[in-house]
Amino acid sequence: MFGKKTSPAGSEKVETIIGKNTAIQGTLKVAEGTIRIDGHFTGQIETRGNLVLGETGRVEANISAGNVTISGEIKGNLAISGQLYITSTGKVYGDIETKNLIIEEGGSSKANPR
Q: Which domain holds residue 71?
A: 14-105
Q: Running along the chain, 114 residues long, what does each successive block of 10 average in pLDDT? A: 50 83 94 92 96 97 97 97 97 96 90 54
Q: Is there a domain that residue 78 lies in?
A: yes
Q: Is there a domain that residue 1 lies in?
A: no
What's the domain count of the chain? 1
Q: Is there a domain that residue 110 lies in?
A: no
* Residues forming a β-bridge with 47: 30
Q: Is there a domain that residue 63 lies in?
A: yes
3-state helix, strand, coil in the chain (%, to 5): 0, 60, 40
pLDDT score for 91? 97
